[in-house]
Amino acid sequence: MTKIVVLVKEVPDAAVQKQVDSSTGRLDRSGEKTLNPFDTHAIEAALQLKESGALEVDEVVAITVGPSTAVKALHKAVSLGADRSIHLTDDGLVGSDVVGTGYALAELIKRENPGLVLAGQQSDDGQSYAVGAAVAEYLGWPGLTQVIKLDVDGQTITAERQAEYGYDTVKVTLPAVISVGDAINEPRYPSLKAIMGAKKKPLESLSLGDAGIDASKVGEAGRKAVWTGSQQPPAKAAGELIEDEDTAATVEKIVTWLDDRKLI
């Protein structure tokens, strides 16, 4: 039997305007938060593998690293179908970069000893696309990104991944870490019963000490990226508005505008 671990994250809600706290160099997370939408595709991929019998999966475990509020993201992951969840939360994690986060997640994964780790292709806040790769590096497992199709044959997965020039078809042998793209599936909606029962499913909360994680490798102490500052992008000039009072004249203006810029 194979265990699947799904990496999830709490992120600011899509309706919240995202901005960086200039005093810390970290994202302001004071607003409403939710489960990273890209991670719902990873959860769905795990459930489809389990339900189809393509892999003999005994359980799907959601794991997150984050503050106390991240429990809500885990409840959402469980309501979508994960069997249980693990929450690493510790003040020593504050300020972790991608490398530190990847290390911490890898240590949690080692405790679970899964056959497959799935993640969303990116987070809706940091947009680094790199956490899955960092986890794979720490585990010493093959890692794939931007995967939009999975076919399983025993302990071998044939994955189709999206690339700038088209598509790659790659084979990996389990265990592996795979970051899936949002084109891989259409996540299901949780039922009311699943939402109500999510808080009753097992949730393990761990500190750095509980998980045996080296505090010097995470948080501010372990970060490799250094914040130097930020600035707003330059304001764009206002566009030209063409009123359609006379259709023929309007079309002529548009054609002239495009022709002047050698767009036609």
Name the least confident of 121-130, 169-178, 204-213, 231-240.
231-240
In tens, the pLDDT along 87-114 reads 999 999 998 999 999 999 999 999 999 9
Task: Express as a percent the part of the chain with pLDDT over 70.
Answer: 100
Residue 152: name the closest of 252, 12, 53, 30 by CA.
53
Q: What is the mean pLDDT of residues 46-66?
A: 95
Task: Return the pLDDT at 235.
Answer: 86
Q: Higher confidence at residue 124 or residue 61?
A: 61
Say yes or no to pLDDT of 234 above 80. Answer: yes
Which pTM value belongs to this model?
0.85
Q: What is the dihedral of CA 159, 130, 78, 46, to 10 degrees?
A: 10
The class that CATH gives domain 2-222 is alpha beta
Task: Return the pLDDT at 209.
Answer: 96
Maximum separation of any 2 CA atoms in the chain, in Å: 73
140: left (phi over 0), alpha (psi -120 to 50) or beta: left
Name the least confident of 52-66, 173-187, 216-230.
216-230
CA within 13 Å, CB half, 140: 1
In tens, the pLDDT along 196-227 reads 999 899 999 999 999 999 999 999 899 888 87
Separation between Cα atoms, residue 174 and residue 156, nearest integer Å: 6
Strands (E), the chain: 2-7, 10-12, 20-21, 26-27, 33-35, 57-65, 84-88, 116-120, 143-153, 156-163, 166-173, 176-180, 203-206
